[in-house]
Amino acid sequence: MTDVTFVSRPSPNFDDRGRAVDMIVLHYTGMKSAEEALRRLCDPAARVSCHYLVDEDGTIYALAPEGKRAWHAGVGAWKGETDINARSIGVEIVNPGHEWGYRKFPARQIDMVIALIKDIKTRHGVPATRVLGHSDVAPQRKEDPGELFPWGKLAAEGLAVGRYAGDEDPSISYQDALAMLRAIGYDAPDNAHAAALVAFQRRFCPKALAQGFSPLTKAAFKWAATAMA
Ligand SMILES: [Zn+2]
């Protein structure tokens, strides 16, 4: 197992959790550089933070104590639970994101994300089904860590649910598909479910990204509804 060492970069932006940790939320920083992201995450005026930030070279910065509620997820929901920050550890992964030049996550960076999640799990009982992307819990506002994030590598270590690799299924009705999307955990209101659909595709089936309720997406729903239960 890779040793995990932390570079301390304390942020003042946190408050009390009032409950136990049972979720890990992964982000990309979406800024031009790691330093710019660190400055913002430590700026009292910005009122945002995270517990850890993983740089592209694998350096892990520790910003807020795990026992505290860092401010990384904002307004969101998963399986009907709304205070995501109170229950989660927030991990920022350096990448310019869709706005500034989205690119592959380096292998060294992902190795350290994996080591960090293993380390966090020695302290908190977070199951693989509760390691999520920011866009999963806030699909209307967010697209991070995005379709290039290698969930399969985390899944290979038993740390997260991976991606769908099966065939299409045209037999599933629209109504059943929508019910599955909700059963997986997404907040998908009747008149605004398009964002949750896209977030699902980024997370579980990037091949079907922006293809609507396609037969491949429907088959992925069915698979994920079981895998994420
Ligand atoms: Zn985020």
Domain containing residue 81: CATH number: 3.40.80.10
Asked if residue 118 is part of any domain, the answer here is: yes
Ligand 1 centroid from CA 72, angstroms: 7
Ligand 1 centroid from CA 170, angstroms: 33
Which residue among 110, 127, 156 closes a domain? 156
- Identify whether residues 33 and 123 lie together within a single domain: yes
Asked if residue 51 is part of any domain, the answer here is: yes
Question: What is the model's pLDDT at position 163?
Answer: 98
CA gap 36, 173 in Å, rounded = 46
Which residue among 125, 156, 187 closes a domain? 156
Which residue among 105, 122, 156 closes a domain? 156
- Identify whether residues 91 and 191 lie together within a single domain: no
Asked if pLDDT for residue 35 goes beyond 90, the answer is: yes
Asked if residue 164 is part of any domain, the answer here is: no
Is 56 annotated in the active site?
A: no
- Identify whether residues 182 and 152 lie together within a single domain: no
Ligand 1 centroid from CA 122, angstroms: 24
Question: What is the model's pLDDT at position 3?
Answer: 76
- Identify whether residues 118 and 202 lie together within a single domain: no
Q: Which residues contact 159 (CB under 8 A, 6 or more apart)?
A: 114, 117, 118, 121, 128, 131
- Identify whether residues 70 and 15 lie together within a single domain: yes
Specify whether the CB–CB gap between 93 and 154 falls below 8 A: no
User: Of these residues, 35, 81, 92, 157, which one is catalytic?
Assistant: 92
Specify whether the CB–CB gap between 64 and 14 falls below 8 A: yes
- Identify whether residues 136 and 97 lie together within a single domain: yes
- Which residues constitute the domain of residue 188? 174-227
Ligand 1 centroid from CA 30, angstroms: 8
CA gap 119, 108 in Å, rounded = 16
- Identify whether residues 25 and 137 lie together within a single domain: yes
Q: Mean pLDDT across the chain, nearest whole number?
A: 97
Question: What is the model's pLDDT at position 75?
Answer: 96
- Identify whether residues 16 and 125 lie together within a single domain: yes
- Identify whether residues 152 and 183 lie together within a single domain: no
Mean pLDDT, residues 172-199: 95
Ligand 1 centroid from CA 169, angstroms: 32
Q: Look up the pTM and report it.
A: 0.97
Domain count, the chain: 2
Asked if pLDDT for residue 183 goes beyond 80, the answer is: yes
Ligand 1 centroid from CA 167, angstroms: 31
Asked if pLDDT for residue 1 goes beyond 60, the answer is: no
Q: Tell me what percent of the residues of the chain surpass a pLDDT of 90.
A: 97
- Identify whether residues 137 and 211 lie together within a single domain: no
Q: Return the SS3 of 186.
A: coil
Asked if pLDDT for residue 215 goes beyond 80, the answer is: yes
- Identify whether residues 192 and 88 lie together within a single domain: no
Ligand 1 centroid from CA 168, angstroms: 30
Mean pLDDT, residues 186-206: 95
Specify whether the CB–CB gap between 54 and 109 falls below 8 A: yes
Ligand 1 centroid from CA 181, angstroms: 21
- Identify whether residues 35 and 92 lie together within a single domain: yes
For 71-97, the pLDDT digits (tens) are: 999 999 999 999 999 999 999 999 999
* Backbone torsions φ then ψ of 71, nearest 5 degrees: -110, 75
For 104-128, the pLDDT digits (tens) are: 999 999 999 999 999 999 999 999 9
Asked if pLDDT for residue 208 goes beyond 70, the answer is: yes
